[in-house]
Amino acid sequence: MRVVPAHEVRRLARAAGYAASEPLVVGLSRRVSPPVFVCASPTATGRPFDESTTVYAASLSKQVTAALVALVMRQGGLAVDEPLSRRLPELPAWAESVRLRHLLHHVGGLPDDDLVDRGLTGDRTGPGVLAALRALPEPARPPGTAYAYSNAGYVCLAEAVRRAAGADLPALAEELLFKPLGMAATRFWDGPEPAPPGASALSPVHPAPLSLGDGGVWSTAGDLLRWADALNDSRLGVSGLLQAPGRLDDGTTLDYAWGMGVRRRHGLTVYRHGGAWPGVRTLLARVPDRGLSVVVTALGDDTERTAALTDGLLDLLLS
């Protein structure tokens, strides 16, 4: 696998549409060599934007939540086929037919996220999402019959893990994930401030939501690369489970595993997921068979350029 010099990364960034003045960090890691980071520009406030800058990871949080489900399940605290109603009995009757595995793979048939968001009465918090779900008695579709990306489903998973483990999600993640993997700059954050101390806060017009499970993780490019390498090496002992593609109840295989998409590129399996919120984009891609990890974080970004840049990097590294 070839070494990618910094000027090649910058060329690919320009090709994906990033200007040299935009805050952008690209991290590359391979099992046989130390990680490499290429940083493009400081933030609008003049602060450095590099692999140590804390940003909102948005939906990358889902694979962290999924890992907690796997670890608590391994300890006997959860069963992947148990009904959602066992952990969240306050939800309407539809929760009786929704299994935790349905939620992991976005086939739970929960009410659509736009309906849930319209039912919020304040900031987007975990309790707020659950309260909105309680007011929506009819699911969008029967569980297990169709893939439909659901943020609310991962909020439910986070609350199920919290109740099963008897510990708040931030403390549980610190104990089981972040501390063992040396991710000292990473945390789940549910407020009350819009961002954790020292992080690159987003615009006051669009602060990051405070719900956990679907989002809530704040991290750095350096820590996200540590996370990816740990999954590639199965340091948590659950990578095989996390990487297993989901299925509909009729057996149809999905291209989504436990909080991560499953793709093929250059004949190899790639596990990837992005995170998006107004003013920030993140993307993490892994190729375990090559021990390869790629992370992209960008501030002030409301586009899908991270995907184009990641594709370019993978093509260069895998061809």
pLDDT in tens, the chain (319 residues): 556 788 899 999 999 999 988 999 999 998 867 788 888 766 656 678 899 999 999 999 999 999 999 999 999 999 999 999 999 999 999 999 999 999 999 999 999 999 999 999 888 999 999 999 999 877 878 999 999 999 999 999 999 999 999 999 999 999 999 999 999 999 999 999 999 999 988 988 899 999 999 999 999 999 999 999 999 999 999 999 999 999 999 999 999 999 999 999 999 999 999 999 999 999 999 999 999 999 999 998 999 999 999 999 999 999 8
Q: Tell me, what amino acid is at 154?
A: Y
pLDDT score at 140: 73
Would 170 be classed as within a structural domain?
yes
Which are the contacts of 168, defined by CB distance < 8 A and separation ≥ 6? Answer: 162
Would 47 be classed as within a structural domain?
no
Other Cβ atoms within 10 Å of 47 Cβ, number: 11
pLDDT score at 42: 64
Can you read off the two tokens belonging to residue 258? 């436990």
Would 48 be classed as within a structural domain?
no
pLDDT score at 229: 96
pLDDT score at 6: 87
Would 29 be classed as within a structural domain?
yes
Domain ranges, residue 68: 6-42+53-318
pLDDT score at 46: 66
pLDDT score at 296: 96
CATH number at residue 65: 3.40.710.10
Query: Domain count of the chain?
Result: 1
Would 1 be classed as within a structural domain?
no
Would 158 be classed as within a structural domain?
yes
Which are the contacts of 309, defined by CB distance < 8 A and separation ≥ 6? Answer: 12, 13, 16, 18, 26, 283, 296
pLDDT score at 159: 98
Would 93 be classed as within a structural domain?
yes
Burial of 19: CB neighbours in 10 Å, binned 0-12, 13-18, 19+: exposed
Place of tokens 């991560």: 260
Would 274 be classed as within a structural domain?
yes
